[in-house]
């Protein structure tokens, strides 16, 4: 019976990608716009590094699409998170509260500043940080002192709260923002996976002090590798632009750097891809959402739970997530699907289990542990033929 169910699932996924021969990828990029034309223009101009018109245009496109006042292009999403934290002055002796159910980059960006990640649990219907868990963690493990919010057991000052919109699904950011305001803590959104996701028509990444997007090769919109800082704060945006461009003072030909800087700006050649991708973002997201609806109808036959929108929420459906009964069934399906040419994956190993973060404080992470045992990501990329037809 189990093998029959697995076979049905694999067949159904294959039917969603009738033009793919061989292995069905988890999330292949969709290149049906003017990507080649933009790249040729970029190469012909010789401006292929981080100075060039496509960088400026891409930043403007993202700012307009998300509604953020500033969009600052970075070499990847991890760099975007790091630059936000670094520009805020968060470093050694500080802590950042985040979630353990996340990609390693979330905690790595914190650690790269010298700060320590603290982990709280997620909501089972969003896979994002639970406001209830955050509030309980602050009340039970932290206290307000003359230095700000301090973790009682370690003495570390809490510098920020950084939830993630997991798999593109918006977490309860409004409730989380209210808690942060009550405690006087900056809110940073890891929106790496959620370009094209909205809450009450407001784009993720625009609810807090700043946010990071990712344009890795497997994202809904890709630049090959790339990221973006979103913020409405003029001073923060200016500081990040400066620090990420080696802290070089503006001058037509002399080189003077006024502090330690970083070479983290997005190259023009990558931005050329991003500009082309943004031309068709609505068509790509529409196809991904249509695919999600087909999956929901199919998996409901088996009573299987999928990560789905809530009232007022519109996800980009970056990666569809379906839950199995337990880890043995999850593992059996993963082996069957991948052996039969359908690329599927489990959620990440919880960050709190990784050797470099296993010492970090947490709240028990009960929901996170359950999701780690049961959730599988299935193929979710936009179908190029559908996107192209919709664009005509």
Q: How high is the pLDDT of residue 391?
A: 86
Tell me the two tokens of residue 5. 């169910």
Banded pLDDT at 108 (limits 50, 70, 90) = very high
- Condensed to tens digits (0 to 9), the pLDDT of residues 231-248 reads 999 999 999 999 999 999
CATH of domain 35-279: 3.40.640.10
* Mean pLDDT on 42-58: 93
- Condensed to tens digits (0 to 9), the pLDDT of residues 351-362 reads 999 999 999 999
Does the pTM surpass 0.85? The reply is yes
Q: How high is the pLDDT of residue 51?
A: 80
**Cα–Cα nearest to 83, from 269, 215, 221, 213:** 213
Provide the phi-psi class of 117: left if phi over 0, else alpha when psi is between -120 and 50, else beta: beta
Q: How many CA atoms lie within 13 A of 355 on its CB side?
A: 0
CATH domain 2-28+280-391 topology: 3.90.1150
Residues with Cβ within 8 Å of residue 30, at least 6 apart in sequence:
280, 284, 381, 382, 383, 384, 387
Examine domains 2-28+280-391 and 35-279 and report if their fold is the same: no
Whether 1 has a pLDDT exceeding 60, the answer reads no
Q: How high is the pLDDT of residue 2?
A: 63
Whether 287 has a pLDDT exceeding 90, the answer reads yes
Q: What are the structural domain ranges in the chain?
A: 2-28+280-391, 35-279
- Count of H-run helices and E-run strands, the chain: 13, 15
Tell me the two tokens of residue 164. 């993630």
């Amino acid at each position: 019976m189990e093998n029959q169910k697995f076979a049905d699932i694999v067949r159904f996924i294959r039917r969603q990608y009738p033009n793919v021969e061989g292995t069905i990828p988890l999330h292949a990029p969709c290149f049906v716009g003017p990507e080649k034309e933009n790249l040729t223009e970029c190469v012909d101009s010789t401006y292929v590094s981080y100075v060039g018109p496509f960088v400026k245009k891409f930043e403007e496109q993202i700012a307009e699409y998300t509604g953020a006042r500033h969009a600052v292009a970075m070499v990847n999403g991890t760099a975007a998170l790091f630059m936000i934290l670094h520009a805020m002055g968060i470093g050694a002796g500080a802590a950042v509260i985040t979630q353990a159910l996340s990609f390693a980059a979330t905690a790595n960006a914190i650690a790269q500043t010298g700060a320590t990640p603290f982990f709280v649990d997620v909501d089972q219907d969003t896979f994002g940080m639970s406001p209830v868990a955050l509030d309980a963690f602050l009340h039970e493990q932290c206290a307000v002192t003359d230095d700000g919010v301090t973790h009682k057991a370690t003495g570390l000052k809490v510098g920020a709260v950084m939830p993630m919109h997991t798999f593109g699904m918006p977490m309860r950011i409004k409730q989380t923002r209210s808690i942060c305001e009550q405690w006087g803590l900056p809110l940073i959104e890891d929106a790496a996976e959620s370009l094209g996701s909205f809450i009450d028509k407001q784009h993720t990444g625009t609810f807090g002090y700043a946010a990071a997007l990712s344009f890795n090769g497997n994202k809904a919109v890709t630049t090959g590798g790339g990221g973006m800082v979103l913020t409405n704060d003029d001073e923060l945006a200016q500081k990040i632009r400066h620090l990420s461009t080696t802290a070089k003072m503006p001058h037509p030909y002399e080189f003077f750097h006024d502090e330690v800087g970083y070479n983290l700006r997005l190259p023009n050649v990558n931005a050329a891809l991003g500009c082309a991708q943004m031309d068709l973002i609505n068509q790509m997201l529409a196809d991904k959402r249509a695919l999600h609806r087909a999956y929901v109808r199919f998996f409901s036959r088996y009573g299987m739970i999928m990560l789905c929108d809530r009232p007022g929420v519109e996800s980009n459906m970056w990666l569809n997530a379906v839950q199995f009964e337990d880890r043995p069934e999850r593992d059996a399906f993963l082996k069957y699907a991948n052996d039969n040419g359908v690329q599927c994956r489990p959620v990440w190993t919880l960050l709190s289990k990784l050797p470099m973060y296993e010492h970090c404080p947490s709240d028990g992470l009960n929901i996170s542990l359950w999701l780690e045992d049961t959730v599988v990501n299935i193929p979710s990329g936009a179908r190029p033929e559908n996107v192209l037809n919709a664009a005509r």
